């Protein structure tokens, strides 16, 4: 019976975390979109200059192919944003975007980030936290067990990312989510 209880709890905590990940992803992609809007204008997904600034490796994930594919199917920025993959948003936090995007805009898009860390360190922190959350999200999406992970740390990273953008949203997230309560029920 213990294995079945752990399996059921795994499904419950996955659902709780997925809800929190949803909010984090929306907050982060809106922050990136705000920065891209400042740089390329409100129709940034359709900007050739933006598209050309993205990597296009012949093998593996290509942000350039992703944006071009999505913009062929959707006519507005508001429709493009949710169609881009989570990894697209994470890849926006690589060093290739420092001079154009993050050096001028990281603190306006993430106003609660500590300026004493410096732009590069803040951008790297966001990238690394998104990597951790992306891996968690993928395990949940593929119905894989997550109980061996440090789920408290995953949730902490997730809420800290939201906090970098907006304290009010982070507070709301903490109040409305049941992640900590479900974590306490682990069999």
The whole-chain average pLDDT of the chain stands at 96
Domain ranges of the chain: 2-50+86-184
> What span, in angstroms and rounded, lies between the C-alpha atoms of 80 and 74?
6
> What span, in angstroms and rounded, lies between the C-alpha atoms of 23 and 25?
5
Per-residue pLDDT at 56: 96
pLDDT tens, position by position, 42-91: 999 999 999 999 999 999 999 999 999 999 999 999 999 999 999 999 99
Per-residue pLDDT at 147: 93
Residue 2, pLDDT above cutoff 90: no
For 64, 92, 134, the CA distances from 112, given in Å and listed in that order, are 30, 19, 22
Model-wide pTM > 0.85: yes
CB 83 within 8 A of CB 73: yes
pLDDT tens, position by position, 122-169: 999 999 999 999 999 999 999 999 999 999 999 999 999 999 999 999
Residue 1, pLDDT above cutoff 80: no
pLDDT band at 107 (very low <50, low <70, confident <90, very high): very high
């Amino acid at each position: 019976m213990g294995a079945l209880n752990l399996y059921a709890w795994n499904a419950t905590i996955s659902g709780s975390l997925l809800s929190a990940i949803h909010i984090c992803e929306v907050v982060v992609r809106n922050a990136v979109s705000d920065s891209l809007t400042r740089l390329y204008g409100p129709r940034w997904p359709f900007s050739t200059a933006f598209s050309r600034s993205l990597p296009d490796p012949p093998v593996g994930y290509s942000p350039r192919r992703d944006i071009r594919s999505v913009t062929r199917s959707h006519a507005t920025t508001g429709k493009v944003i949710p169609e881009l993959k989570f990894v697209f948003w994470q890849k926006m936090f690589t060093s290739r975007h420092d001079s154009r995007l993050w050096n001028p805009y990281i603190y306006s898009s993430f106003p609660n980030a500590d300026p004493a860390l410096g732009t590069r360190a803040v951008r790297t922190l966001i990238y690394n936290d998104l990597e951790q959350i992306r891996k968690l999200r993928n395990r949940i999406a593929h119905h894989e067990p997550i109980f061996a992970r440090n789920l408290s740390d995953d949730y902490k990273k997730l809420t800290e990312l939201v906090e970098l953008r907006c304290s009010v949203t982070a507070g709301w997230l903490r109040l409305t989510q049941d992640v900590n309560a479900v974590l306490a029920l682990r069999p």
